[in-house]
Structure 1
Amino acid sequence: MLSLSGCGENPWNSPYRSGDAAAPVLYSSFSERPKHLDPARSYSSNEYVFIAQIYEPPLQYHFLKRPYQLIALTADGMPQVSYLDAAGRELSPDTPAEQIAFSLYTVRIQPGIRYQPHPLFATDESGAYRYHQLSEAQLEQIHTLDDFAERGSRELTAADYIYQIKRLAFSRFHSPIAGTMGEYIVGFNALTKRLREEEQRLKQETGQDRPYLDLREFEMAGLKQLDRYTYTIRIKGKYPQLLYWMAMPFFAPMPWEADRFYAQPGLWQRNIKLDWYPVGTGPFMLAENNPNLRMVLARNPNFHGERYPNEGEPEDRAAGLLEDAGRSLPLVERAVYSLEKETIPYWNKFLQGYYDTSGISSDSFDQAVQFSDQGDVGLTDAMREKGIQLTTAVQSSTYYFGFNMRDSVVGGDSERARLLRRAIAIAADYEEFISIFANGRGVPAQGPIPQGIYGHRPGVAGHNPYVYEVRDGKIRRRPIEQAKALMAQAGYPGGRDPQTGKPLVLNYDAVATGPDDKARMNWWRKQFAKLGIQLVVRSSDYNRFQEKMRKGTAQMFSWGWNADYPDPENFLFLLYGPNAKVKGEGENAANYENPEFDRLFNKMKNMDNGPERLAIIDLMVELLRREGPWLWGYHPKAFSLHHAWYHNVKPNLMANNTLKYKRLEPARRVESQRAWNPPVLWPVITGLLILLISLMPAVVVFRRRERSAAR
Structure 2
Amino acid sequence: MPDPVKNLCSALALFFAATVAPSVQAANPADAGKIVRQAFEAADDGFDMAKTQNFYSGWVSEAIFEPLLSYDYLSRPARLIPLTAEAMPEISDQGKVFVFKIKSGIFFSPDPAFKDKKHELTAQDYVYTFKRLLDPVNRSPNASFIEGKIVGLDDVAAKAKKTGKFDYDTPVAGLKAIDKYTLRVELKATDYNFLYVVAYGGFGAVAREVIEAYGDQTGLHPVGTGPYMVEKYMPRSKILLTANPEFRGYIWDFKSTGSARDEEIVKQMKGKKMPQVGKVDISIIEEEQSRWLAFQDKQLDIDKLPQSAATAALDGAALKPELKAQGIKMDRVTDAGIVFTIFNMRDPVVGGYTKEKIALRRAVGMAYSYEDEITQMRLGQAVRSEMIIPKDVVGYDPAYRSSLAYDISLANKLLDHFGYKRGPDGYRNNPDGSSLTLKKTVEPAAIYKVQSEIYKRGLDRIGIRIEFPVSNFADNLKAASACKLNMWGGAWNADFPDGENFLQLLYGPKAGAGNHACYESPAYDALFRKAVSLPLGEERNKVYAQMNRQVEADTPWIVHTSRIRSWLYRPWIVGYKKHPILHSDWAFIDVEKH
TM-score bracket, shorter-length normalisation: 0.7 to 0.9
- Residues 1:391 and 2:331 aligned together: yes
- Residues 1:224 and 2:176 aligned together: yes
Hey, what's the Cα distance between the residues in 2 that align with 1:331 and 1:570?
30
- SS of the equivalent of 2:560 reads strand
Q: How does 1:118-133 map to 2 (within 5 A)?
A: 118=111, 120-121=113-114, 131=115
Question: Is contact 1:329–1:661 with CA below 8 Å preserved after alignment?
Answer: no
2:368 partner letter? A
- SS of the equivalent of 2:148 reads helix
Question: Is contact 2:35–2:280 with CA below 8 Å preserved after alignment?
Answer: yes
Corresponding residue number in structure 2 for 1:359: 304
Corresponding residue number in structure 2 for 1:589: 517
- Residues 1:443 and 2:383 aligned together: yes
Residue deviations 1:396-422 (CA, integer Å, cap 9, x gap): 3333346788999998697x9999977
Hey, what's the Cα distance between the residues in 2 that align with 1:176 and 1:106?
26
- Residues 1:639 and 2:566 aligned together: yes
Identity %: 24
1:166 partner letter? K
Shift of 1:244: 2.4
- SS of the equivalent of 1:183 reads coil
Shift of 1:394: 2.6
Hey, what's the Cα distance between the residues in 1 that align with 2:148 and 2:39?
38
Corresponding residue number in structure 2 for 1:108: 101
Q: Which of 466, 482, 498 is the equivalent residue of 1:537?
A: 466
Corresponding residue number in structure 2 for 1:675: none
Runs (5+) with no aligned partner, structure 1? 1-19, 84-91, 94-102, 122-130, 132-150, 201-212, 469-476, 671-711
Corresponding residue number in structure 2 for 1:51: 61
1:527 partner letter? G
Q: How does 1:524-603 map to 2 (within 5 A)?
A: 524-530=455-461, 533-539=462-468, 559-575=490-506, 578=508, 587=515, 589=517, 591=519, 593=521, 595=523, 598-603=525-530
- Residues 1:161 and 2:126 aligned together: yes
Hey, what's the Cα distance between the residues in 2 that align with 1:545 and 1:154?
34
- SS of the equivalent of 1:162 reads helix
Q: Which of 427, 438, 442 is the equivalent residue of 1:508?
A: 438
Hey, what's the Cα distance between the residues in 2 that align with 1:55 and 1:389?
30
Question: Is contact 1:294–1:336 with CA below 8 Å preserved after alignment?
Answer: no
Change (3 A) 1:628 1:226: closer
Hey, what's the Cα distance between the residues in 1 that align with 2:128 and 2:513?
30
Corresponding residue number in structure 2 for 1:235: 187
Residue deviations 1:417-448 (CA, integer Å, cap 9, x gap): 99997776555321112322233332211111
Shift of 1:662: 0.9
What TM-score results when the alignment is normalised by the length of structure 2? Answer: 0.75
Question: Is contact 1:399–1:559 with CA below 8 Å preserved after alignment?
Answer: yes
Shift of 1:653: 3.3
Corresponding residue number in structure 1 for 2:409: 484
- SS of the equivalent of 2:187 reads strand
Shift of 1:649: 2.2
- SS of the equivalent of 2:376 reads helix
Q: How does 1:411-430 map to 2 (within 5 A)?
A: 425=365, 427-430=367-370
Shift of 1:643: 0.9
Change (3 A) 1:347 1:231: same
Change (3 A) 1:177 1:115: same
2:373 partner letter? F
Residue deviations 1:190-230 (CA, integer Å, cap 9, x gap): 44466689887xxxxxxxxxxxx995x44334321212211
What TM-score results when the alignment is normalised by the length of structure 1? Answer: 0.64
**Of the two, which has the highest radius of gyration?**
1
Corresponding residue number in structure 2 for 1:62: 72
Change (3 A) 1:404 1:514: closer
Question: Is contact 1:164–1:252 with CA below 8 Å preserved after alignment?
Answer: yes
Shift of 1:335: 1.9
Change (3 A) 1:402 1:503: same
Change (3 A) 1:159 1:408: closer
1:299 partner letter? A
Greater CA drift, 446-455 or 647-656: 647-656
Residue deviations 1:599-650 (CA, integer Å, cap 9, x gap): 4433212323223222333444456567766543222333321112212222
Change (3 A) 1:161 1:521: closer
- SS of the equivalent of 1:78 reads coil
- SS of the equivalent of 2:274 reads coil
Hey, what's the Cα distance between the residues in 2 that align with 1:515 and 1:352?
20
Hey, what's the Cα distance between the residues in 2 that align with 1:220 and 1:28?
42
Shift of 1:285: 3.5
Residue deviations 1:545-599 (CA, integer Å, cap 9, x gap): 9989988996x775544444332123234455x4595xx987272847474x554
- SS of the equivalent of 1:432 reads helix
Hey, what's the Cα distance between the residues in 1 that align with 2:369 and 2:237?
43
Runs (5+) with no aligned partner, structure 2? 1-29, 430-435
1:186 partner letter? V
2:100 partner letter? V
Q: Aligned-pair RMSD on alpha carbons?
A: 4.7
Corresponding residue number in structure 2 for 1:315: 259
Hey, what's the Cα distance between the residues in 2 that align with 1:408 and 1:25?
50
- Residues 1:248 and 2:200 aligned together: yes
Q: Which of 234, 241, 254 is the equivalent residue of 1:297?
A: 241
Hey, what's the Cα distance between the residues in 1 that align with 2:385 and 2:69?
31
Question: Is contact 1:645–1:665 with CA below 8 Å preserved after alignment?
Answer: yes
Shift of 1:361: 3.9
Hey, what's the Cα distance between the residues in 2 that align with 1:38 and 1:377?
38
1:432 partner letter? D
Hey, what's the Cα distance between the residues in 1 that align with 2:301 and 2:428?
53
Change (3 A) 1:391 1:193: same
